[in-house]
Amino acid sequence: MSYIDIIPIGEVEETLLLFLKESIFQTFKIQTRIRNRRFNLSPVYDPIRNQYNSSGLLLELINDTPPDTLKVLGVTELDLFIPIFTFLFGEAQLNGIGALVSIHRLRNQFYGIPEDKELLRNRLLKEGIHELGHTFGLIHCFALKCVMKSSTYVEEIDQKSTYFCRACEQEVLRWQIEKNV
Amino acid sequence: MDNQSVSILVVDDEFSVRDSLYNWFKNEGYRVDTAENGMEALKKLQEGPWDIVLVDIKMPGMDGMELQRHIKKIDNTIIVIIITAYATVDTAVEAMKEGAYDYLSKPIDPDKLSILIRNAVNQRRLIAENIQLKQKVEELSLQDEIVGESPQIKKILEMIDTVAKTDATVMIRGESGTGKELVAQAIHGKSNRRYFPIISINCGAFPEGLLESELFGHEKGAFTGAQYKRKGKLEMANGGTLFFDEIGNITAKMQMDLLRVIETKQFTPLGSNKVINVDFRIIAATNSDLEKKVAEKEFREDLYYRLNVFSIQIPPLRERTADIPLIARYFLEKYARSMNKDVTDISPEAMKMLVQYNWPGNIRELRNTIERALVVVGEKNRIEPEDLNLLFLSKSNPPGDSLEEIEKAHVQRILEQSDWNISRSAEILKIDRVTLYNKIKKYGLQR
């Protein structure tokens, strides 16, 4: 059996992880599990930007992956960046194994507005599915409600749904059939 | 333009920047490639068309500014976006003065990049569309041209050039078929309004109520039968030219409404309470004696003066016979091409007939004559007299209506057509030679 591993990086609320575990299984129909492991964050920390290098963290995330792991989704409270961009909500390997999502800028409090736990769960799920979608070979989609639509600010995440459009869904299915998952 | 059809080249000496942007654009579905330095970028630019090039301003060897200059030499329409660090923003501004589309400061806000690329793609699409449309307009405006080398036509062409540069209202006078609409199109085609439409309206073709609705448009339900909202020609001509043909035929009420529109550049569609502002140039045409109509109070004097700012009088074809061979050959070439016929010439005899004919229907009649001749010419590669359907031949004046005048013109035509060969002419006319001699004598016909 193959799994999508959900791996917390640093402290992450357990309720969020459990919610992701169940919802991602519902979306991809692939068994999910929460796998805990330790990370050495100092090599990916940039003290000038006070952010963590997403690409470095992604490489660290896929390191030492068990043979029954199909995909890995790292979930973190850390604020992510890559050198050219100010921040990232997440990063993934196109057609690869690893995906990473940050909760940091999904929280309302980051923008000075009151906490909304339901909204946060939704945003996290959308970004988690979105980044995992890239690992299934999906690129950004133009369908307004498709979860694969690109989001460069939180309001854009709120506008899309947690579902794939029909074309993206077909792509994921095709991938699974080809890989005999 | 979907993202797949947009090509982006990222030029930066830093691997991490190239790699990040490559992945980002790839995820967005763009066609993307990278270059490590200016030389590599130029090589890739030579290889294929690119829509957008992101250029790091600070690179070893050829810097971003220099690369941009080379890019603009290769293809001036490529959109260049400068990537810069905060310390070099001034240089980026300089680059924009030299034609860069915009600049991005490192680190780039993903949202800004997304919007910038989207806008750049839209701009590029609009530029491409604009070029295509301009080409189409040029092609269309070349569809028919004013042909002639007579002094009268040269004068008209000069007048067209002069008035086209202004926004003055033009009144074109001339007999039916002289090419008034062609002159109006030429004025529009040479004016600054040429990329907007020229809307023609034949005032003689509509009953009063319909002309009003045609001009002003109407709301749904404005009158019985108005099932849909319809835009009027005044609104359709916004930015362009409105050509009123047969302006002398409009009713008194329409004259008043039109005068108001010309003065205020505003109108209200039928059944609407919304005032619409419009901006158009007016060209009017008539073959009727407007001055007489003004004197007889059939045409408003104020409207007459509003329309008659710049007047162009087109002479009838019979007054510029020197242009007939040129015009005939122009139509021959045009229709032979469209009918796919290998007819390349008009015989001297046929041309002589064309020149001598009176052309009461002017250029329109000449055009129809050539078009018809091309249909009946068969396998021949030039038009002969028998292909022309000219009944009334006269050197100067059209024949009258009496049988005698028509017979005289017909006999003269046949004689000229057969080069005054009496036997052949008598054969064509189905009379004997003596009768033909009698008719020549009777009508005083001369070679």
Mean pLDDT across B397-419: 77
3-state SS string for chain B: CCHHHCEEEEECCCHHHHHHHHHHHHHCCCEEEEECCHHHHHHHHHHCCCCEEEEECCCCCCCHHHHHHHHHHHCCCCEEEEEECHHHHHHHHHHHHCCCCEEEECCECHHHHHHHHHHHHHHHHHHHHHHHHHHHHHHHHCCCCCCCCCHHHHHHHHHHHHHHCCCCCEEEECCCCCCHHHHHHHHHHHCCCCCCCEEEEEHHHCCHHHHHHHHHEECCCCCCCCCCCEECHHHHCCCCEEEEECHHHCCHHHHHHHHHHHHHCEECCECCCCCEECCCEEEEEECCCHHHHHHCCCCCHHHHHHHCCEEEECCCHHHCHHHHHHHHHHHHHHHHHHHCCCCCEECHHHHHHHHHECCCCHHHHHHHHHHHHHHHCCCCCEECHHHCCCCCECCCCCCCCCHHHHHHHHHHHHHHHCCCCHHHHHHHHCCCHHHHHHHHHHHCCCC
Most confident of A26-35, B138-147, B182-191, B316-325: A26-35
Question: CB-based contact (8 Å) between B110 and chain A?
Answer: yes
Question: CB-based contact (8 Å) between B62 and chain A?
Answer: no
Distance between CA atoms of residues B215 and A63, nearest Å: 74
CA distance B89 to chain A (A): 16
pLDDT band at B399 (very low <50, low <70, confident <90, very high): low
What percentage of residues in chain B have a pLDDT greater than 70?
93
Question: CB-based contact (8 Å) between A86 and chain B?
Answer: yes
pLDDT band at B446 (very low <50, low <70, confident <90, very high): confident
- Residue B29 has a pLDDT of 86
CA distance A3 to chain B (A): 25
Q: B21–A82: do the CB atoms touch at under 8 Å?
A: no
Point out the least confidently predicted range of B304-318, B365-379, B395-409. B395-409
pLDDT at position B290 over 50: yes
Mean pLDDT across B267-280: 85
> What contacts A14, CB < 8 A, 6 or more positions away?
none
Q: What angle do CA B428, B433, B435 make, to 5 degrees?
A: 100
Q: What is the pLDDT of residues A83-107, one digit of tens each?
A: 899 999 999 999 999 999 999 999 9
Q: B27–A134: do the CB atoms touch at under 8 Å?
A: yes
> What contacts B265, CB < 8 A, 6 or more positions away?
B277, B278, B279
Mean pLDDT across A42-64: 95
- Residue B141 has a pLDDT of 57
Q: Which fold has domain B151-315?
A: Rossmann fold (3.40.50)
Same fold, B3-137 and B151-315: yes
pLDDT band at B424 (very low <50, low <70, confident <90, very high): confident
pLDDT band at A46 (very low <50, low <70, confident <90, very high): very high
Mean pLDDT across A112-133: 97
pLDDT band at B410 (very low <50, low <70, confident <90, very high): confident
Closest CA to B365 of B404, B391, B401: B391
Q: Which fold has domain B318-443?
A: Helicase, Ruva Protein; domain 3 (1.10.8)
Q: B16–A87: do the CB atoms touch at under 8 Å?
A: no
pLDDT at position B88 over 50: yes
Mean pLDDT across B126-148: 74
Most confident of A64-73, B121-130, B135-144, B285-294: A64-73
Question: CB-based contact (8 Å) between B201 and chain A?
Answer: no
Q: Which of residues 111-150 of B touch A (CB under 8 A)?
A: 111, 113-114
Select from B29, B108, B111 the Cβ nearest to the Cβ of A84.
Answer: B108
Mean pLDDT across B67-81: 91
Most confident of A113-122, B190-199, B237-246: A113-122
Domain at A3-139: CATH code: 3.40.390.10
Sign of CA dihedral B318, B321, B326, B332: positive
Q: B26–A94: do the CB atoms touch at under 8 Å?
A: yes
Q: What is the pLDDT of chain B when averaged over all its residues?
A: 86
pLDDT at position B72 over 50: yes
Which residues of A are known catalytic residues?
131
Closest CA to A39 of A58, A55, A20: A58
Chain A residues closer than 8 Å to B110 by CB: 85-88, 152
Task: Show me where the domains of chain B are located.
Answer: 3-137, 151-315, 318-443
Q: What is the pLDDT of residues B2-29, one digit of tens each?
A: 677 889 999 999 988 898 899 889 888 8
CATH superfamily of B3-137: Response regulator (3.40.50.2300)
Token digits of residue B261? 């529109």
Q: Which of residues 3-42 of A touch B (CB under 8 A)?
A: none
Global pTM exceeds 0.90: no
Question: CB-based contact (8 Å) between B102 and chain A?
Answer: no
pLDDT band at B396 (very low <50, low <70, confident <90, very high): very low
Q: Residue with structure tokens 């307009």?
A: B137
